[in-house]
């Protein structure tokens, strides 16, 4: 979650229509054309959205090369020249190392090819989640604690998602990221020391409430010993609302559109899995436009007091999302 207090909310929330840059295949209605003031807010939101604690859902594994609703992952993967720095003159489908395209910044940052891998998290990713969370949120009150991560990854790991990239030490050329130390080997049998490194995550639980509450963000302290798992705190297996509690992108990769990439994959898998009616979260006022791009609706000030309060409720009706697309021979097909 962001450290600064929220600004005054707008008198009325805009309908959940995306500004330019979000394809119509992902959100219904006409594309929203922001005013100059709103455009400035949205630019700030995009920059800050790389680390924001919220409340919502996830589903199961996502094949990011087949199931994303637009070309985000393809563009990210078509970067054999990712290792080329700005000024090298080499090009790619994503705009080349000289800039252009949504992923130009990541080509500037990484001295090696970026091959994103999206998958559910598991308890084996616990330490990486803690390291990423601590790096993403400067304010300790806005971080998910290690014990909360342990509870959520043990209780409902299918409601989590991680974005990973493979790093080979010999090709890193001095690039360092602290989640490398907690990462697992990329593949068995490889002797190059490569690891699958966590760069972004989404962690969530289910709730019977339609909005994120302090109870849904909490957890039973006896979760390790209570086998009955009956508690009013934390994950509610029969709940119809998925509450996203943490969406974080490592600060070294801020501004690289990875928050957008993982959230789109997450919402898509949520719809395909058909395991809940809605996805809800809380955020600061200046992040409202960011989530509206994905179809979330602002319901006003939140009653949640986590991290000092000052949040706004956001919710999205999952089945009202438009059809997604899958890759088939010769192109894409709506499903």
End residue of a domain, out of 112, 134, 165: 112
User: Shortest CA distance to 279 belongs to which of 321, 237, 307, 238?
Assistant: 321
Q: Give bridge partners of residue 325 from the DSSP assignment.
A: 334
Most confident of 97-101, 119-123, 168-172, 304-308: 119-123
Beta strands in 120-274 (DSSP E): 160-167, 184-185, 195-207, 241-249
Q: What angle do CA 263, 176, 99 make, to 5 degrees?
A: 60
The pLDDT confidence band at residue 329, using thresholds 50, 70 and 90, is: low
- Is residue 119, in this structure, part of any structural domain at all? yes
Most confident of 12-16, 191-195, 276-280: 276-280
Q: How many CA atoms lie within 13 A of 89 on its CB side?
A: 0
CA distance 212 to 209: 7
Greater confidence (63 vs 236) lies with 236
The pLDDT confidence band at residue 232, using thresholds 50, 70 and 90, is: very high
Asked if 31 contacts 326 with a C-beta cutoff of 8 angstroms, the reply is no
The pLDDT confidence band at residue 322, using thresholds 50, 70 and 90, is: low
At 83 the pLDDT is 31
Q: Provide the CATH number for the domain around residue 245.
A: 3.40.630.30
Taking residues 265-272, report their average pLDDT: 93
At 182 the pLDDT is 93
Greater confidence (165 vs 22) lies with 165
- Note the residue count of the chain: 335
Instruction: Give whole-number Cα distances, 25 to 28, 116, 238, 294, in Å.
Output: 7, 22, 30, 11
41, 188: one domain: yes
The domain containing residue 227 runs over which residues? 36-77+114-334
Asked if 297 contacts 314 with a C-beta cutoff of 8 angstroms, the reply is yes
Greater confidence (70 vs 244) lies with 244
201, 100: one domain: no
At 13 the pLDDT is 36
Residue 104: CB atoms within 10 A of its CB come to: 20
88, 204: one domain: no
Percent of the chain whose predicted confidence (pLDDT) is above 90: 50
97, 246: one domain: no
84, 207: one domain: no
CA distance 156 to 149: 10
pLDDT greater than 70 at residue 321 = yes
The pTM of the full predicted model, rounded to 2 decimals, is 0.70
193, 203: one domain: yes
Residue 282: CB atoms within 10 A of its CB come to: 30
Q: What is the mean pLDDT of the chain?
A: 74
CA distance 116 to 187: 15
The pLDDT confidence band at residue 16, using thresholds 50, 70 and 90, is: very low
91, 235: one domain: no
What are the tokens at 245?
């509690």
| Structural domain count, the chain | 2
CA distance 19 to 47: 16
- Is residue 20, in this structure, part of any structural domain at all? no
CA distance 309 to 262: 26
pLDDT tens digit string along 54-77? 433 222 222 222 233 344 444 444
CA distance 264 to 269: 9
102, 236: one domain: no
User: Shortest CA distance to 128 belongs to which of 181, 166, 165?
Assistant: 181
215, 243: one domain: yes
46, 94: one domain: no
103, 189: one domain: no
Taking residues 303-318, report their average pLDDT: 94
CA distance 72 to 65: 9
């Amino acid at each position: 979650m962001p450290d600064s207090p929220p600004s005054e909310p707008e008198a009325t929330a805009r309908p959940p229509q995306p500004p330019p840059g979000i394809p119509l295949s992902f959100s219904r209605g006409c594309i929203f054309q922001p005013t100059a003031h709103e455009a400035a807010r949205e630019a700030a939101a995009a920059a800050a959205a790389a680390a924001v604690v919220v409340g919502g859902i996830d589903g199961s594994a996502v094949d990011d090369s087949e199931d994303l609703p637009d070309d985000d992952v393809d563009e990210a993967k078509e970067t054999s020249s990712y290792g080329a720095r700005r000024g090298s003159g080499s090009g790619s489908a994503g705009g080349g190392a000289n800039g252009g395209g949504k992923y130009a910044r990541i080509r500037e940052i990484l001295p090696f090819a970026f091959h994103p891998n999206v998958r559910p998290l598991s308890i084996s990713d616990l330490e990486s989640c803690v390291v990423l969370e601590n790096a993403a949120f400067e304010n300790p009150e806005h971080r998910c604690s290690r014990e909360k991560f342990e509870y959520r990854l043990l209780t409902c790991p299918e409601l989590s998602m991680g974005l990973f990239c493979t790093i080979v030490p010999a090709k890193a050329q001095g690039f360092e990221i602290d989640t490398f130390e907690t990462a697992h080997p990329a593949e068995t049998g490889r002797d190059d020391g490569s690891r699958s490194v966590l760069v972004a995550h989404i962690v969530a639980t289910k709730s019977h409430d339609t909005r994120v509450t302090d109870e849904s963000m909490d957890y039973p302290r006896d979760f390790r010993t209570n086998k009955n798992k009956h508690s009013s705190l934390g994950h509610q297996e029969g709940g119809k609302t998925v509450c996203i509690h943490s969406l974080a992108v490592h600060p070294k990769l801020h501004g690289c559109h990875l928050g957008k990439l993982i959230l789109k994959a997450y919402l898509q898998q949520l719809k395909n899995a058909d395991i809940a009616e809605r996805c809800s979260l809380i955020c600061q006022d200046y992040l409202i436009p960011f989530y509206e791009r994905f179809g979330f609706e602002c319901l006003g000030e939140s009653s949640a007091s986590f991290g000092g309060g000052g949040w706004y409720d956001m919710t999205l009706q999952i089945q009202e999302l438009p059809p997604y697309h899958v890759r088939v021979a010769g192109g894409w097909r709506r499903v």
